[in-house]
Amino acid sequence: MQAVVLSGGFGTRLRPLTYKVPKPLLPIANVPMIEYVLAVLPDEVDRVVLATNYMVEQLEEYFEKKEHPFEVVINTEPEPLGTGGAVKFAQKYIDDTFFVLNGDLISSLDAGKMAQFHRKSGGVGTIALYEVEDPTPFGMITTDDDGRIQEFKEKPKPEEVTSNTINAGTYILEPEVLDVIPDGQKISIERETFPSLVPKGLYGLPFQGYWCDAGTLPKFLEANGLILENDKALAAPLQSYVESIGHLCVGKNVQAKGDPVLKDSVILDEVVIEDGVSIDNCIIGSGSTIGQGSILSGTIVGYDQDVPPGTKLTDGKIPPEN
């Protein structure tokens, strides 16, 4: 089997971090996010096509150095082709049933079980489903009792909710699906390709456990918490701080002076935290310095930023670049 990992988005909601590092390489519990995505793939996957177009050199460099039990092909689009266009653009590397995975997902999906279900169902595709209380911010999917998909609804209004299962961003598709995606066009697989495949037999398989699309500040922090709670196997050793509260991930060579209050945050490598600092629900990019007495809450500090002493940043405000 093959797998296409969608890794070409700009990651705008994680800026300013994604000005310097592509989202798939941002660390969750000190390990690049993409490793958690690749870790769900069953052994029968022998080739992974990374569908990229943003910060490709960094991805190339990473995959040149890192060994994996499958071949990794970096397939760079001439321009962003959307999730469907990127899959079509990978066609030359696909000759078998294949996975498609969003490159920013942290989940406990059993992809081997999903492949078994797919073969049994005989459909052209299977979509991993996840149960949520409120599907309105997501792509809602309604199935019949056999799992055959009846309806897709992107971000349904409350009165349109007919199901509480959503598209969990992982698919198994037959190569014939590629024939319905036009060449060289920007296409959304979720909004355009899948609804057109319903008459051909698309199935949904719910899974239990955890699932998180780590593409925003709160979700990135949640993803770190999930890994700390559930899946320490991949995570590199983390430093712990006595003053820490809640889920806290601290990278290598972080220096904290005095008694900082560090709560529910991700602090990447080589950060310097001066005296009297409070950091709560933040991501702090590697190499940054947080000046004395700064209070940061719900903010993203980029890589190598100098946050001046006495800075107060809350509610999603990010420090200006320097």
In the residue annotation, 66 being an active-site residue is answered as no
Pair type for strands 245-250 and 261-267: parallel
Q: Which stretch binds ligand GTP (CB under 6 A): 4-12, 115-123, 203-211, 255-263?
A: 4-12
Closest to 2 measured CA to CA, from 200, 177, 138, 154:
177
Does the footprint of ligand GTP cover residue 307 (CB under 6 A)?
Answer: no
Give the Cα separation of 176 and 180 in Å (integer). Answer: 8
Q: Which stretch binds ligand GTP (CB under 6 A): 8-16, 222-230, 275-283, 286-294?
A: 8-16
Q: 27, 32, 103, 302: which one contacts ligand GTP (CB under 6 A)?
A: 103
CB of 53 to ligand GTP, least distance (A): 6
Does the footprint of ligand GTP cover residue 83 (CB under 6 A)?
Answer: yes
Pair type for strands 278-280 and 261-267: parallel
Residue placing its CB nearer to ligand GTP in the complex, 185 or 208: 185
Residue placing its CB nearer to ligand GTP in the complex, 28 or 250: 28
CB-side exposure of 299: number of CA atoms within 13 Å? 19
Q: Helix, strand, or coil here: 136?
A: coil
Contacts of ligand GTP in 223-252 (CB under 6 A)? none
Which tokens belong to 33?
């996010």
Closest to 102 measured CA to CA, from 209, 16, 14, 212:
212
Does the footprint of ligand GTP cover residue 139 (CB under 6 A)?
Answer: no
Cβ-in-10-Å burial (0-12, 13-18, 19+) of 79 comes to exposed
Q: Helix, strand, or coil here: 262?
A: strand
CB of 166 to ligand GTP, least distance (A): 14
User: Which one from 113, 155, 200, 312 is the annotated catalytic residue?
Assistant: 155
Q: 215, 251, 260, 319: which one contacts ligand GTP (CB under 6 A)?
A: 215
215 with 23: CB under 8 angstroms? yes
Question: In sequence order, which residues have a C-beta less than 8 Å from that of residue 262 and are 6 or more positions away?
Answer: 241, 243, 244, 245, 248, 250, 256, 273, 279
Contacts of ligand GTP in 61-80 (CB under 6 A)? 77, 80
Question: Site for ligand GTP (CB under 6 A): how many residues?
Answer: 22
95 with 18: CB under 8 angstroms? no
Q: 2, 30, 102, 143: which one contacts ligand GTP (CB under 6 A)?
A: 102
Q: Which stretch binds ligand GTP (CB under 6 A): 47-55, 133-141, 238-246, 282-290?
A: 47-55
320 with 303: CB under 8 angstroms? no
Q: 23, 118, 153, 247: which one contacts ligand GTP (CB under 6 A)?
A: 23
Q: 38, 40, 48, 51: which one contacts ligand GTP (CB under 6 A)?
A: 51
Active site positions, annotated? 155
Binding site for ligand GTP (CB under 6 A): 6-13, 23, 51-53, 77, 80-83, 86, 102-104, 215
